[in-house]
Chains A and B, each alone.
Chain A
Amino acid sequence: MANKQYSYYPGCSSQNGASSSNLMKSVESMVKLLDVQLNEIPDWNCCGASIGYAGGGELPRIALSARNIALSEQHNPGQEIVATCAACWLATREAKERLDHSATLLAETNEALKEAGLVFKNEAPPARHMVEVLIDDIGYETLKSGVKKPLEGIKFAGYVGCQTNRPFGIDGESFENPMYLDKLIESMGGEAITNYDQKVTCCGGALAFSEPEKSQKQIKDIIESAYDHGADMIVTPCPLCQANTEIYQNEVNKRYGTKFNIPVTYYSQLITVAYGGSGKDAALDGHIISPTKLVDIASK
C-alpha cells in the first residue's frame, strides 16, 4: 500500500512518444522511489491548453476540464487531482475557480456534461501540481533525507517559467522570484543559481510555433542568462518550457550566431537520479542535448 495516493492527470504531451514523454517516465520513476501512488484519471481528455481559445469559446474549454474533474470524482473519489503539466494544472484549477464563481457557467457546464453522461459535483479540492506534493506533502527535509547520490558538482539554472508560477503559483512563493525549484535542487545536493534572472521569463509558449522569431528572442534570453551564470544545465517543471528551450537551441544559434548547447532537464529527473534511479528510469535518453553530468552520476 503506497504511502500517498493521488488522482493523476498526465496530459497529452506526457504520453508515450509525445514531446514530454521523458517527463512522464521520470515522474513515474520518481513517485515509485518516493512511495507515492498515482492513479491515472480514466479516459482523461486534453485541457485545451492556453491556445485552445482560438477555436473554442469559454464554455467548451471549461467543459474539457470539468469532464476530467468529473471523471476523477467518479473513479478516484476522495483523491486530489495532481497534474505534472503546467497547462493541464492551470486549466483544471482555473475551470474550477470559474465554476465556483458563476452559477450560470456551472449550470451550463453540467448541461453539457450530461451529454457525456457525467456530472460536475464540485467535490474535489482544487487541482494540485506535482511540485506541491513534493514540497508540501513530503517536504524538503524528507526529500533530502532519501538522497543516495547527491548531485554534487552540477550547477543548475532553475527555470520556473510561466504557468507553474502564474496566475496561481506554488503556495507561499512569490510571482517575481519563486524559490522552490532552487530549494529542490539544493535538497538533491546540486548547486542552484539563485540569482538566475530569467527564472520566470516567458519562453513564448505555444507561440513558439506560430511566432518563431519573437519566441526565439525569449528563448535566447533564457538560455543566455543560464550560460552567463555558469549553469551546467537548465531544470524546469514545465513540459512546454522544456521543449521550447531544448529543441529550438539550433534555431536560435542559426538566428543569433550563438553556440548554445545546454541540456534542459526536469526536476523529476533530478530526483530520480539523486534517489539512485538509473539513467533509463530518469529518461535521460529522452533528450536532444544529453545532460551528460546527470548521466555520469546516474551511471556511477
Chain B
Amino acid sequence: MSIEKYRKNFLKEVEERVEEGQWVKMCMQCGVCAGSCPFGPHWEHTPQKIFMMIRAGKREEVLTSDSMWMCTSCYNCVVRCPRKLPITHIMHGLAYLSKREGLMPKNQPTAQFGQLFWDNLTKNGRVNELKLSLGMYFKDGFSQGIKNAMAMQSVGMGMMKAKRLNPMEILGGHGIKDKSGFSAMLKKAKELEDARRKLA
C-alpha cells in the first residue's frame, strides 16, 4: 500500500512509519556502520546506502531489499555511529515496514524465522524452543522438514542428552498463566501502533 501523502517523499514516510525513523536524516554518511557490520559483505545495500536511498526517494528498492534482514542485532554500528543513530532499530523498523507493505522478498529465511518466533512467543507468552526449531525445519513442507531435521539430528540429540532440549515440550511446555490478558495486551498494542503508523 502506498500512501498518497508520502508520494515523492520517502524520507517523510520513514520518519512517520518506521521505528526510530526520525533519525535517518541525521546520518552524515561516514560509512562506519557499513564497515562495522559482521554481515557487512552480505548486505546488498549497507545501512549507509539505505539512508542515502531513503533521502533519494528510492522506496521500492529499499523496501524490497533483503538487506535489512541481514541485521544480527549485534549493535556494533549503533555504538560506533558518531551521530548515535539507532541503526539496528531503524533496520528492524524498515524490515517490519517492508513486511507490512508486502514488499519483503519471498522466502527470506530470517523473516520467516522471526515470524515463527513471534507466533511462538505470543501463543504461550514464552518461547517453546522445540516447536520453534521444528517449525523452522518444516517451513518448506513436510519432506524438506524431515531432511532438515535429520541433518540437524546430532545437534538435537546432543542438546537432549545435555537436558537442554526437552522432547516433552511438543506437548505444550512452558507458558505464562495470564494468557488472555497477555493476548489482549498485544492485540491492543498492535491496534494502536497500526493506527499511528497507518499500517493496515
* Chain A residues engaging chain B, CB cutoff 8 angstroms: 12-13, 15-22, 43-46, 48-60, 62-64, 67, 104, 108-109, 111-118, 162-163, 166-167, 169, 175, 200-202, 204-207, 209-211, 214-215, 218, 243, 247-248, 250-251, 285-288
Tell me how far the C-beta of A55 lies from the nearest C-beta in chain B, rounded to whole angstroms: 2
Q: Which of A111, A210, A285 has the most CB of B within 10 A?
A: A210
Q: Tell me if B31 is interfacial: C-beta within 8 Å of chain A.
A: no
A–B pairs, 6, beta carbons within 8 Å: A19-B129, A46-B127, A109-B189, A111-B192, A166-B74, A201-B38
Name A54's contact: one of B95, B129, B194, B199 (CB within 8 Å): B95
> A153–B121 Cα gap in the complex (Å)?
43
Question: Does B162 lie within 8 Å of A286, measured CB to CB?
Answer: yes
Chain A binding surface, main DSSP class: loop
Interface-facing stretch out of B4-12, B44-52, B55-63, B169-177: B169-177
Given that A60-B193, A201-B38 are contacting pairs, would A211 and B109 also be in contact in the complex, using a CB cutoff of 8 Å?
yes
Tell me how far the C-beta of A107 lies from the nearest C-beta in chain B, rounded to whole angstroms: 9
List of A residues within 8 angstroms of B177 by Cβ: 43
Tell me how far the C-beta of B130 lies from the nearest C-beta in chain A, rounded to whole angstroms: 9
Q: A53-B93, A287-B162 are in contact. List 8 more A-B contacts (CB 8 A).
A: A17-B168, A20-B164, A52-B118, A55-B117, A60-B193, A112-B185, A214-B42, A243-B164
> A67–B184 Cα gap in the complex (Å)?
12
Question: Does A59 lie within 8 Å of B190, measured CB to CB?
Answer: yes
Tally of contact residues, B, Cβ under 8 A: 70
> A113–B187 Cα gap in the complex (Å)?
10
Using CB atoms, name the residue of chain B closest to A218: B38
Name B114's contact: one of A19, A51, A163, A287 (CB within 8 Å): A51
Q: Which of B19, B38, B70, B164 has the most CB of A within 10 A?
A: B164
Considering only residues 104-150 of chain B, those with a C-beta below 8 Å from chain A are 109-115, 117-119, 121-122, 125-127, 129, 133, 136
List of B residues within 8 angstroms of A62 by Cβ: 189
Closest 6 CB pairs of A and B: A54-B114, A55-B118, A17-B166, A50-B73, A116-B181, A166-B75
List of B residues within 8 angstroms of A286 by Cβ: 162-164
Tell me how far the C-beta of A1 lies from the nearest C-beta in chain B, rounded to whole angstroms: 29
List of A residues within 8 angstroms of B159 by Cβ: 19, 247, 288
Question: Does A111 lie within 8 Å of B78, measured CB to CB?
Answer: no
Using CB atoms, name the residue of chain A closest to B169: A17
> A218–B70 Cα gap in the complex (Å)?
14
Given that A54-B96, A56-B118, A210-B112 are contacting pairs, would A108 and B74 also be in contact in the complex, using a CB cutoff of 8 Å?
no
Q: Tell me if B32 is interfacial: C-beta within 8 Å of chain A.
A: no
Considering only residues 39-98 of chain B, those with a C-beta below 8 Å from chain A are 39, 42, 70, 72-76, 78-80, 86, 88, 92-93, 95-96
Question: Does B163 lie within 8 Å of A17, measured CB to CB?
Answer: yes
Tell me how far the C-beta of B88 lies from the nearest C-beta in chain A, rounded to whole angstroms: 8
Given that A54-B95, A206-B113 are contacting pairs, would A116 and B185 also be in contact in the complex, using a CB cutoff of 8 Å?
yes
Name B113's contact: one of A20, A51, A64 (CB within 8 Å): A51
Question: Does B184 lie within 8 Å of A46, measured CB to CB?
Answer: no
Using CB atoms, name the residue of chain B closest to A57: B193
Name B185's contact: one of A12, A55, A63, A288 (CB within 8 Å): A63
